[in-house]
Structure formats: C-alpha cells, structure tokens
A = this chain, B = another copy of it.
Amino acid sequence: MITTIAFDADDTLWHNERIFLSTKDKFTALLSGFHDKIYIERHLDATETKNIKHFGYGVKGFTLSMIETACELTEGRITGDKIKDIIAFAKDMLASPIEVLDGVEDTIKSLSAEYRLICITKGDLLDQETKLARSGLGEYFDALEIVPRKVPETYENILKRHDLSKNEFVMVGNSLRSDILPVIEIGAKAVFIPYESEWFHEAVSAEELQGKIFTTLENIGKLRDWIQTQ
C-alpha cells in the first residue's frame, strides 16, 4: 500500500537542535556582562518568533535575530567585535559536522531498496541541501523538498507534484506541529518520532492533539517493522 516514505531532516535524520542550543549558550555568554542567561534566552526566543514572518526558518534568520537581540539588550552598546563574533557563530553552524542519529543510516538504506524516499525540510535552501549531501544519506533519497513552511497545502502540493495518492504516502518526523498534524489533516499517514528536545516554536497543546490519530515510535529503528504492517 505505502509506496513513498517522506522524512523530515533536522532532528529526525541528524542532530540539529543541539547546534542551535550550543550557539545560544555562546550567545548568552557573549552578553553575560549585560543580562542573565534566562532573560537573554527569552528575549532571543521572542525576537525569533516575531522575525519568522520576515526571515523564515534557518540559520541566517536565527543569526539576524541574535544580532537584533544583542543590539536591543545592550541598548545599542554592543561592540562591532561582538557582532562579528555572532556572524562567526553563523558560519560555524553552517559548517558544523552532520551527526546522523542512531539507526538512521541502516533504516534509510534498507527502506530505499523498496520505497521511494523523499526528504521534506524547512530552513535555508543552500544549508539544507549541503546538509543532506554532507550526511552521506543523499543517495538514498529520490527527492529533496525544501519548503518555507509545513502546512497541509505544502504536503498536498508535494503529493501532487510527485503524482502520489494520500494512501500511499507516510510522513516521518519529530515535530507534531510541522510533520504530523498537517499530514493527518490531508488524510495521509504520519509517524511521530520524538527527539531528545523540542524547539519551542514547534510545541503543540494537548487540545490540538485531541482526536488526532497517528503513530508514535520510540526511534527510527522501529520504522521498518511498522511500515510492513501497513
């Protein structure tokens, strides 16, 4: 029945949130002379949320939000050298090694022999493309779809573009907000595989989950068996 398995990328195939969290630590350390860590983090989160409509998802927008936060929280007293440090954080993030999650390579390799695999990810175009290449997983995927947001229409368009019915498609990811809810809304299947931490922007309330039917697996190693029962 299922012919096509789509995977989210960041924190589904490889660690990503870790890179953001460690950059946030460096950022709060940089501003530690001005404010305490929690206060800086809250302000950065609020700036990021406010800026998503301008900058979208990804490292570049996050970096512009760090710079904006640094200017605001220091009332303009931040020095150019510290701003340059923040830009260097961005370049480090973009160049950081891809750590594929446990079990991913075996699962993807084995599934690719029998199913069409698509990677569907938000973020910056160049960055997401080079991450898939650097991960060593690129050869197993039939398509890479980098999208500005993940809403039901996004998935409908992808199904249409690949000439797929909703019955033959399953989406696998670590974000209820982006990978699961919009997919079950269009009547396709979704498998939730939680990551070790959740990005605040992706959090979903208990109400939103009420009555929603999807599968949760503990890790990607369980995916192959699940697929075969479908």
Pick from B63, B70, B78: contact of A64, CB under 8 Å: B63
Residues in B with CB closer than 8 Å to A90 are 54-55, 64
Determine if A148 is an interface residue (Cβ-Cβ < 8 Å): yes
Pick from B54, B71, B79, B161: contact of A84, CB under 8 Å: B71
| A55 near B148: Cβ-Cβ < 8 Å | no
Residues in B with CB closer than 8 Å to A33 are none
Report the bound CA distance from A66 to B60 in whole Å.
13
Instruction: Determine how many copies of this chain the complex contains.
Output: 2
Residues in B with CB closer than 8 Å to A80 are 70-71, 74-78, 83
Most buried by B among A54, A72, A129, A161: A54
A106: shortest Cβ distance to chain B, in Å?
28
Residues in B with CB closer than 8 Å to A149 are 126
Residues in B with CB closer than 8 Å to A78 are 80, 83
Q: A125-B125, A125-B146, A125-B148 are in contact. Are A84 and B56 (CB under 8 A)?
A: no
The DSSP consensus for interface residues of chain A is helix
Pick from B55, B77, B79, B161: contact of A126, CB under 8 Å: B55
Q: A64-B63, A78-B83 are in contact. Are A126 and B70 (CB under 8 A)?
A: no
Determine if A151 is an interface residue (Cβ-Cβ < 8 Å): no
Q: Which of A75-129 contact B (CB under 8 A)?
A: 75-81, 83-84, 87, 90-91, 94-95, 124-127, 129
Interface 0/1 of A128-149, CB less than 8 Å to B: 0100000000000001001111
Q: A64-B63, A148-B125 are in contact. Are A72 and B84 (CB under 8 A)?
A: yes
| A124 near B67: Cβ-Cβ < 8 Å | no
A133: shortest Cβ distance to chain B, in Å?
11
Determine if A156 is an interface residue (Cβ-Cβ < 8 Å): no
Chain A to chain B contacts (Cβ below 8 Å), 8 pairs: A54-B94, A55-B90, A56-B124, A68-B84, A71-B81, A71-B87, A124-B125, A125-B125
